Amino acid sequence: MRNISLVFGRIAKPISIAFMLLFVASTLRAQDAKEGESIFKANCSSCHKVFGKFLGPELAGVNERRDEAWLLKWIHNAPAMIASGDPIAKELDAQFPSAAMTAFPQLSEDQIKNILAYIKSEEEAKAAGDAAGGANAAGGAAAGESGDANNFMIIGLIAVIVLAFVVILVLNKVIRTLERVIANNKNLIPEPVIAVDAPRKEFTAKIRRLAKNKKLVFFAVLMVVIFLASAGWKTLWNVGVHEGYQPVQPIKFSHQLHAGVNQIECQYCHGGAYKSKNASIPSANVCMNCHKAITASDKYDGELSPEIAKIYRALDYDPETMEYGPNQRPIEWVRVHNLPDFAYFNHSQHVVVAGVECQTCHGPVETMEEIYQYSPLTMKWCVDCHQQTEVNHKDNAYYDQLIAAHEKLKKGEKVTAAMLGGLECGKCHY
C-alpha cells in the first residue's frame, strides 16, 4: 500500500495540472458559444433555426458556405449589401422575399463571431449525437479537439475504475479481518436473558385495574364521542369544498413559467375577466401567438417540446409548412374552480369595478407549476372578504353612474334599468 501511495503521489501533480489546463481551455471555448447562444436567441431565433427552415434559411453549415468576412458584413447591414448589388445577397433576398434580413449594426464583430461559434457548436453536438459514441477515425480537423478531449476522458475513467478496484480489494480485506475477529470472540458475548412472561402479566394486571375504574372508563368514552362528533361535523361542513383540488390537465401548462418568469398578464389569456362573468379559457390560437416561434427545442435536444406538440396536434398545425390542417379539435381542459349553480359571481364586477387582484381569490398563481384551487370559495369566505374590503368610489365610472341615477330619482326624473347595469349579459345569462 505504501508503494502505491508513493506512485500516486508522483503522478498526482501532473494529472492535476493537465485537468486544470483542459478545464480552462474548454471553459474559454464554451464561453464564446454560450454568449453566442444568448445573442442568437435574442436577435435571430424569431426567423432562423440552426437545423430546419423557419421564416429564414437553415443556418447549419453557414460557416462552410460563406466566408467569415462576408457574414460579418451581411449580419451588420444586409439591406446595404442587397442595394450594392452583391450577387449572393441578391440571391438570398430573392429566395426569401417575405422575410427580409434585418440589419444589426449594434452587434460587434466579436458578438457575431460568437453567434457563428454557437452555430458551429450545435453542428458538432449533432454530429457527436449521430455518431452515438463511436470513434470516427476520419473526423478531420474540425473534430480533432473534441477527439483529444474524449481520449483524455477515457483515460481518466480508466484511472477511476482502477482506483475503485483497489479500494474494493482493501475493503474486502478489512471485512474479512473483522469477520474473523467476531468469530473468535463470539463465545465471549453473553446472550441476554429476557423475562417475557413477567412484564406481560404485569401489563395485563394494570389493564384490568384500569378497566374496573368507572370514572376513567366514562371519561375515555366521552372523549371518543367528542372526537367522532367533531370529525363528523368537520367532514359534513366541508362537503362540496374542494380547496387544494389539482386535477391532471391534458397539457402541462406552467403558470410559474408564463405568469412568473415571463410575467405575462393574466388578462392576456383570460380576457373575459375584464368584460364578462366568466374569465374564460383561452383558445389554442392565443397560445400560437407565441408558440409559432417558441418551441422550447433547446431543452429537448433540438426536438419540439412534447407539450407544445399537443397544441400543434389540436390545431392540426404543421411547423415545417406553417399551415393549419382541417382536422382541428378543442383541448379538453379540466375545470379547477367551480362554484355551485345557485352562486352568482361576476369577474368583471370584481376586476374592473372593485379592482380586485387575481391572486386575491386564486392565490399566488405566478408560483404554481400546476394550477390548483387555492381558496375554499365558501360563502363564509366570500362574506368575510366583503366585510373587510373597503369600497373605493372615487373616480370610478360604475359608482359615478349609480350616483347620477340616484340624483335623478331624487328629482323625480326617469331612470331606466339600463342605467343601473341592466344591459349586462351576466344579469340574465349564466
| Same domain, yes or no: 72 and 115 | yes
| Same domain, yes or no: 179 and 279 | no
- pLDDT recorded at residue 307: 93
In angstroms, the CA 246 to CA 334 distance is 10
| Same domain, yes or no: 384 and 405 | no
* Out of 31-40, 234-243, 359-368, 402-411, least confident range: 31-40
| Same domain, yes or no: 421 and 309 | no
138 occurs within a structural domain = no
| Residues composing the chain | 430
Residue 28 has pLDDT above 60, yes or no: no
Q: What would the grid cell of residue 289 be?
A: 401567438
Q: Residue range 153-165: average pLDDT?
A: 80
Q: Residue range 150-176: average pLDDT?
A: 79
| Same domain, yes or no: 382 and 407 | no
Q: For residue range 199-257, list pLDDT tens digits in order.
A: 787 888 888 888 888 888 888 899 999 999 999 998 888 888 889 999 999 999 999 99
Q: For residue range 144-154, list pLDDT tens digits in order.
A: 444 455 566 77
Signed CA dihedral, 389, 395, 398, 403: sign only: positive
197 occurs within a structural domain = no
Residue in the block written with cell 369595478: 353
Q: What would the grid cell of residue 126 be?
A: 449533432
173 occurs within a structural domain = yes
Q: Residue range 382-390: average pLDDT?
A: 90
Confidence tier at 191 by pLDDT (50, 70, 90)? low
- Specify the CATH number for the domain of residue 62: 1.10.760.10
| Same domain, yes or no: 165 and 232 | no
Name the more confident of 365 and 71: 365
Confidence tier at 3 by pLDDT (50, 70, 90)? very low
In angstroms, the CA 136 to CA 388 distance is 73
CA distances from 192 to 182, 195, 200, 201, 203 (A): 18, 10, 18, 20, 21
| Same domain, yes or no: 215 and 334 | no
| Contact (Cβ atoms closer than 8 angstroms) between residue 369 and residue 256 | yes
| pTM of the shown model | 0.47
Confidence tier at 26 by pLDDT (50, 70, 90)? very low
Residue 336 has pLDDT above 60, yes or no: yes
| Same domain, yes or no: 346 and 375 | yes
100 occurs within a structural domain = yes
Confidence tier at 186 by pLDDT (50, 70, 90)? low
Residue 169 sits in which domain range?
153-186
Total domains present in the chain: 5
| Same domain, yes or no: 400 and 359 | no
136 occurs within a structural domain = no
Residues 6 or more apart whose Cβ sits within 8 Å of residue 60: 50, 51, 119, 122, 123, 126
| Same domain, yes or no: 327 and 405 | no
| Same domain, yes or no: 230 and 340 | no
Residue 80 has pLDDT above 60, yes or no: yes
